[in-house]
Structure 1
Amino acid sequence: MRLAGKKALVTGGRQGIGRGIVEAFLAEGAEVLTCGRGARPDGLPEACGWCSADVSDPAQVTELARAAGRIDILVNNAGVQVEKTVTDSTDADWDLVIGANCRGVFNTCRALIPQMTQGASIINIGSISGRVADPSMALYNASKAFVHGLTRSIAVDHGPQVRCNAICPGWIETGMLEAGFDMSDDPGAARQDALRRHAMRRFGKPADIAAIAVWLASDEAGFATGQMFTVDGGMTAASPINTGLF
């Protein structure tokens, strides 16, 4: 029970990585509040609190912060993905992606840092896409690079009151992964090629990201701050040269 006695707010806990983190935090003894657009989702553990909130809206985040109260852990997971190049992207795409992925993280950090406990932990969900560009996801790639930069700034400016780190997932089995494959002429072939590029020969699962989130939220990670933790099954460690091994 590494998080016993701690209170956490996890944004975007409806499904995918966020849901995995919610469940892992509850299992480790934390009190958890999560949020998302719309009504409370079916199947969310009864022990988890729910607030309807759009993190891109500062006024709604102010209300969310009021509902959360004093917290020990903030996980900024809420985000969206648009599969377009720069020239294909519209103003509406910009508002959607930058609003959720950039402004949303900024809004929650600005609102919650003043009411976080001494030594609290902020965990931002970045992406390997903030370091290497996935094709046809220009705004998403750029938004995650922003998250990484903001993570470092918060760690430097607000330590030692809070620790701030980012987890950079690789290809995790969520709806976002499937949307990426659907852009290919042959999604099945694209999936098999992607699997071969992973040293672990599988895609990640939300539980893989939740496991490192638990550690970063715990006192065990008390000296870790300002860092980007890549969890991608070894994909970005490999050379693109085809030797027959990948």
Structure 2
Amino acid sequence: MSLPVVVVTGGSRGIGRAIVDKFLAQGCQVLTCGRGVRPRDLDPAVEWVQADVARAADARFVVERAEQRFGRVTVLVNNAGVQLEKTVLDTTDEDWDEVMGINARGTFNLCRAVLPGMLEGGGSIVNLGSISGLCADPAMAVYNASKAFVHGLTRSIAVDHGPQVRCNAVSPGWIMTAMAEDAFAMAHDPDKAKADALARHPAGRFGQPEDIAETVAWLASDAARFITGQCFVVDGGLTCASPLQPRFF
């Protein structure tokens, strides 16, 4: 029996790297990609492709490389993404192209490239959305919109291409990666901002990349075979609570 073939975009660090490591630990054959050179600490068993997912030709090449190396792709995880802290008025055309190119077009490009093979033999797609696609974060207009696109695309793929293909999304909250640390660093008082954010988590902690990797691997597995078209929030309870604070009552 052949091993699952998994493509993870943006697997050089953070959540993407945790997802790569999780599938590798499960015995899968894994290819990942990024715009830079191969990370020195990436496991030798992982195939690396230098690619920009915003380019349709690069997306096709990623899938072709995986097929040539391992065989038909059975799992696609669209993790590659960038964040931008700007309002609509502050956002330039170049900002739009950067964020929507990677977060939205990149997800679309990989899904389109992998679907023909999955429709022949079945497969699972897991897209990385965000709670920012459900609840708008201040001064992150295009990022919020890009993640809402990911959620909508996820549902459309599930409807249009089931039952051969299952497609779901994971919507992380505050996961402690370099991107999250950079966001806190931009606050007027980073320590206070971090403490306030932590206090709003019923789970009592921020998330770790491994928390998302576990959810992604589960959704891609047969254990979730009756789940498709869903967006799973993994945020330690952040978005489930009322914005009203107890001290006012």
Partner of 2:95: 93
Q: What percent identity do the matched residue pairs reach? A: 60
Q: TM-score with structure 1 length normalisation?
A: 0.96
1:78 matched to 2:94? The reply is no
Partner of 1:64: 62
* Number of equivalenced pairs: 242
Q: Which runs of 5+ in 2 are unaligned?
A: none
Structure 1 stretches of 4+ moved >3 Å: none
1:182-220 per-residue CA deviation (whole Å, 9 max, x = no partner) reads 221101100000000000111100000000111111111
**1:68 is paired with a residue of what secondary structure?**
helix
* Structure 1 residue 244 displacement after superposition: 4.5
Partner of 1:53: 51
Matched-pair contact (CA < 8 Å) for 2:130–2:147: yes
Matched-pair contact (CA < 8 Å) for 2:20–2:30: yes
The 5 A counterparts of 1:153-172 are: 153-172=156-175
Deviates more, 1:108-117 or 1:146-155: 108-117
**2:242 is paired with a residue of what secondary structure?**
coil
In structure 2, distance between residues paired with 1:38 and 1:225: 32
Partner of 2:126: 123
Q: Give the letter aligned to residue 107 of structure 2.
A: V
Q: Give the letter aligned to residue 91 of structure 2.
A: S
Within the candidate set 18, 29, 32, 2:30 is matched to 32
In structure 2, distance between residues paired with 1:8 and 1:143: 24
* Structure 1 residue 138 displacement after superposition: 0.6
**2:159 is paired with a residue of what secondary structure?**
helix
**2:169 is paired with a residue of what secondary structure?**
strand
The 5 A counterparts of 1:227-238 are: 227-238=230-241
* Structure 1 residue 81 displacement after superposition: 0.5
1:204 matched to 2:204? The reply is no
In structure 2, distance between residues paired with 1:44 and 1:139: 31
Partner of 1:180: 183
